[in-house]
């Protein structure tokens, strides 16, 4: 970020970039003091602030404790810091009697206010505690009440010393390892809040291992062999879509606080041994009050602006919009379209004004072209088998068609069409035009019910035909 004519103070939020290693803000027009919070960046090993207009005392800890890792030339009003920097000493401000007297008055007032607040809080605490004893069911148990805490050393043993061979993946907030614990269960098993072997803070959440990896691995196999091993048919993908929709429905409408995931994508959908989908990675999730459901429909929210993954982020976020449940619905719509087309929203074919949504919308309106946009790895349920398929008509009559090989039955195409329509509706540009997850879940479950009921009728008809022949 050097030589960009940046003005103003160095943003305090830079101190939240815990993984940053190199920061170069040289040759700008930055003013004010160097944020002391930058001392906390343990991975920062190079900081260049040369030729700005910075002033005030230079911090002494973290990266500022090593003169070979920081460059401060050209900031003539800096002072203090470690001796190796050879900066002038900072002046000691003179305290007048008037200032001292004013300080004593301020401290007295603040102390009195603090004492009053403390007493009020204690009274409120004991009052709520007495009510809690009377009605224990009204309170929500804490994490500590539900889970026994595991130690850092137990995790170290379970992961064989956090071996690279046990790394499942990395995210914005840490590394994911697989390991073997004695405890068995579902969902969150336990947690760790401790110190590591170097004395640093260490926090971890321990979940069941998802044996079938992420949905991304199934939708986008890297080799031909993987494509053969990981092949999802229409019904399997519909089941996964319903699992994810149900999870979002719970987060949006059935939690004490509204939870906006903010980063829904195939790599954050994990599949267990039965191919049941689990929504994971809540690193960017936001908690909103219940009133946010109504306010978010009007484009308002109490949360801060968010970042997600390119291609899945709702368009209003790019304009500085804040986290809303409609943003999650948009991401889900893109995910649904990707599941049945096999195309990432960032695929190289999507250039200029062509997007995944437009690609599906245009193809679904052209007769005979809809099947061409479907995922090449999307298998028919009865693939490579001869079967009789039945096309239902408006007046209840049926028309039997013999299909072979990898062709989709009319029933499967009707199912896919209905799912793509849901995906298009979820990914509408305007947040107010999108479905909510209650309606999405209801429609997808209805599509599945119709699919299974009709399929049973077809199987029954097939048996009848075979008996006659």
As to burial, measured by CB atoms within 10 angstroms (0-12 exposed, 13-18 middle, 19+ buried), residue 217 is middle
Close Cβ partners of 77 (under 8 Å, ≥ 6 residues apart): 53, 54, 55, 56
- Catalytic-labelled residue, pool 263, 281, 328, 436: 263
CA distance 79 to 34: 11
Instruction: Identify whether the C-beta of residue 237 lies closer than 8 Å to the C-beta of residue 416.
Output: no
Model-wide pTM > 0.75: no
Model pLDDT, residue 138? 42
Q: What tokens appear for 191 in the block?
A: 């947690």
Model pLDDT, residue 207? 79
DSSP code for 149: B
Model pLDDT, residue 298? 47
Model pLDDT, residue 380? 63
Model pLDDT, residue 67? 85
Model pLDDT, residue 295? 47
Q: Where are the beta strands (DSSP E) in 264-384?
A: 269-271, 277-279, 286-288
Model pLDDT, residue 285? 63
Model pLDDT, residue 68? 86
Cα-based distances in Å from 435 to 121, 441, 442: 43, 10, 11
For residue 117, how many other CB atoms are within 10 A of its CB? 10
Model pLDDT, residue 121? 74
Q: Supply φ then ψ for residue 247, to 5 degrees.
A: -65, -45
Secondary structure of residue 382 in the 3-state scheme: coil
Query: Parallel, antiparallel, or unpaired: how do β-strands 387-392 and 258-260 relate?
Result: unpaired
Model pLDDT, residue 407? 65
Q: Cα(first)–Cα(last) distance of the chain, in Å? A: 77
Model pLDDT, residue 226? 67
Catalytic residue check, 263: yes
pLDDT digit of tens for each residue in the chain (469 aa)? 888 888 999 998 888 888 899 999 998 989 999 999 998 888 999 899 998 999 999 999 998 998 888 988 888 889 988 988 888 888 876 554 556 667 767 777 777 777 777 777 777 766 666 555 444 444 444 445 555 667 777 788 888 888 888 787 776 567 888 787 765 547 666 778 888 878 888 888 887 788 888 899 899 988 776 666 677 889 999 999 999 999 999 999 988 788 888 889 999 899 988 899 999 876 666 666 555 444 444 444 434 444 678 899 999 888 877 889 999 999 999 999 999 999 999 999 998 889 999 999 988 765 556 678 898 888 765 543 433 333 333 333 333 333 333 567 888 888 999 999 999 999 999 999 999 999 999 999 999 999 888 877 766 665 555 554 4
């Amino acid at each position: 970020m050097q030589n960009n004519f940046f003005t103003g103070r160095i943003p305090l939020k830079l101190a939240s970039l815990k993984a940053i290693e190199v920061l170069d803000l040289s040759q700008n027009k930055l003013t004010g003091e160097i944020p002391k919070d930058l001392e906390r960046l343990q991975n920062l090993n190079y900081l260049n602030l040369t030729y700005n207009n910075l002033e005030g005392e230079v911090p002494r800890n973290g990266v500022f404790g090593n003169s070979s890792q920081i460059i401060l030339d050209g900031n003539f009003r800096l002072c203090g810091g470690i001796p190796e920097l050879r900066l002038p000493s900072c002046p000691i401000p003179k305290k007048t009697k008037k200032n001292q007297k004013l300080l004593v008055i301020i401290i007295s007032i603040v102390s009195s206010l603090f004492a009053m607040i403390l007493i009020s809080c204690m009274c409120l605490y004991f009052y709520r505690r007495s009510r809690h004893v009377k009605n224990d069911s009204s309170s929500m148990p804490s994490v500590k009440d539900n889970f026994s805490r595991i130690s850092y050393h137990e995790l170290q043993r379970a992961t064989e010393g956090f071996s690279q061979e046990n790394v499942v993946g990395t995210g914005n907030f840490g590394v994911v390892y697989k390991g073997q614990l004695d405890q068995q269960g579902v969902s969150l098993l336990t947690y760790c809040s401790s110190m590591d072997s170097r004395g640093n803070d260490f926090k971890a959440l321990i979940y069941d291992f998802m044996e079938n990896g992420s949905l991304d691995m199934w939708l986008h196999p890297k080799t031909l062999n993987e494509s053969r091993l990981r092949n999802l048919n229409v019904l399997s993908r519909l089941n996964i879509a319903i699992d994810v929709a149900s999870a979002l429905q719970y987060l949006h409408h059935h939690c004490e606080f509204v939870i906006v995931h903010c980063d829904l994508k195939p790599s954050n959908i994990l599949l267990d041994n039965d191919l049941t989908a689990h929504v994971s990675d809540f690193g960017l999730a936001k908690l909103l009050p219940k009133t946010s459901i109504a306010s978010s429909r009007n484009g308002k929210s109490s949360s801060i602006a968010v970042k997600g993954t390119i291609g899945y982020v709702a368009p209003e976020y790019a304009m500085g919009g804040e986290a809303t449940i409609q943003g999650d619905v948009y991401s889900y719509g893109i995910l649904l379209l990707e599941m049945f087309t096999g195309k990432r929203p960032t695929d190289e074919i999507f250039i200029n004004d062509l997007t995944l949504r437009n690609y599906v919308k245009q193809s679904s309106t052209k007769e005979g072209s809809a099947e061409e946009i479907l995922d090449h790895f999307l298998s028919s349920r009865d693939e490579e088998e001869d079967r009789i398929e039945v096309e239902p008509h408006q007046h209840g009559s049926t028309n039997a068609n013999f299909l072979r090989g990898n062709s989709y039955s009319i029933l499967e195409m009707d199912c896919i069409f209905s799912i793509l329509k849901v995906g298009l509706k979820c990914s509408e540009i305007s947040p107010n035009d999108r479905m909510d997850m209650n309606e999405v879940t209801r429609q997808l479950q209805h599509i599945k019910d119709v699919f299974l009921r009709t399929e049973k009728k077809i199987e029954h008809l097939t048996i009848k035909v075979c008996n006659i022949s």
